[in-house]
Amino acid sequence: MNYKKTYIANPDRYAEGVMNYRTCGKSGIVLPEISLGFWWNFGGVDVYEDSLAKMTYAFDHGITCFDLANNYGPPFGSAEETFGKMYAENFKSHRHEMIITTKAGYHMWEGPYGQGSSRKMLITSLDESLQRMNLDYVDIFYSHRYDGFTPIEETMQALVDIVRSGKALYVGLSNYPVDKLKEAVAYLKARDVRPLIYQGKYNMIARDVENGHLDAMQELGMGFTAFSPINQGVLTNKYLKGIPADSRAGRGNHLQASMLTPEFVAKLQKLNDLAEQRGQTLAQMATAWILSRPEVTSVIIGPRTVEQMADSLQAIKSAPFSAEELTRINEILK
């Protein structure tokens, strides 16, 4: 007879040096410097046992924040279903140790109400997310984007009502222009719902959030969590000798091989050389570079394997960057 192995969490997961935690804006919440993201590699097309291995490794190493969205997969919704199965079978007794997030705003289902930031979309989507994840509430619910046509008042009032319903403890915002972000925050604060965090794409290559968003975090009292720290695998040594067939660029998954020109790969090689001088992999240096910004609360990683996760986690032990190293990085990428 086969008996299912019961997961027992590492008793030393909160020991000093295992994970660092940062205060999230002007709140009483701390987040791990590294969060686990479910955008890719946890969907219905992925092997469940591999997903569980990454989840348990993350929790055993002090990762307490798990970042999801309604349409993560593929297919849409399947990452939340994978999480829900793992949670129900292995992590339910640890619910109070976890920050679980989800989002709504991008395309999820067919028809005119299957995307955007309307009240109907957000509330319906969250109800379905809670069912898929086997949860009564999420810790953070994000408006995933400013859609350009739904009035800010409608979207923000939906978030206010979601918090008051008990289906989310906090709310966050993602992919908002700075002016709309400030307008949204003002609406929420006027109704005694303080937005906890902003999530944006940020890495050595993608720096749009440096044009106002990071400065706004201090002003608004919000935390900032960065996604895509290695730019979907670009800021690793993976592409230094060509494009592997099983890579995102090789498969065309949100990363086009056309960007990996000889000139660009030469820049990656110089970054890799600098990382080696620092005693790091390029992926570790890329993650540590983001964490060097005091505005950043947490960095979301989405590893394909446990080995990639273990590599990324070493970033929290990184030596500080010298002024010369930061200048060198900027010169390489200009």
- Tokens for 13? 């997961």
Where are the alpha helices (H) located in 170-322, listed in sequence order?
178-190, 213-220, 248-251, 262-277, 282-291, 306-313
> Does a cis peptide bond (omega within 30 degrees of 0) precede residue 244?
no
> Does a cis peptide bond (omega within 30 degrees of 0) precede residue 74?
yes
Which of helix, strand or coil describes residue 220? Answer: helix
In angstroms, the CA 310 to CA 102 distance is: 24
Q: What phi, psi does 192 have (nearest 5°)?
A: 60, 30
Enumerate the domain spans of the chain: 21-234+282-319
Check residue 259 and give its pLDDT: 80
Q: In sequence order, what are the beta bridge partners of 300?
A: 35
Return contacts of 92-95, CB within 8 angstroms, 24+ apart.
Answer: 92/134, 94/9, 94/59
Note whether 93 and 58 are within 8 A (CB): no
If one counts every other C-beta atom within 10 angstroms of the C-beta of residue 324, the result is 8
- Region 308-312: what's the mean pLDDT? 95
Check residue 241 and give its pLDDT: 79
pLDDT digits over 144-184, tens only? 999 999 999 999 999 999 999 999 999 999 999 999 999 99
Q: Could you tell me which of 158, 161, 142, 141 has the C-alpha nearest to residue 150? A: 158
* Length of the chain as a residue count: 334
Note whether 278 and 328 are within 8 A (CB): no
pLDDT digits over 49-71, tens only? 999 999 999 999 999 999 999 99
Return mean pLDDT, the chain: 95
pLDDT digits over 184-199, tens only? 999 999 999 999 999 9
Check residue 250 and give its pLDDT: 46
- Give domain 21-234+282-319's CATH superfamily: NADP-dependent oxidoreductase domain (3.20.20.100)
In angstroms, the CA 5 to CA 19 distance is: 26
Look at strands 34-37 and 65-67 and give their pairing: parallel
- Region 219-223: what's the mean pLDDT? 98
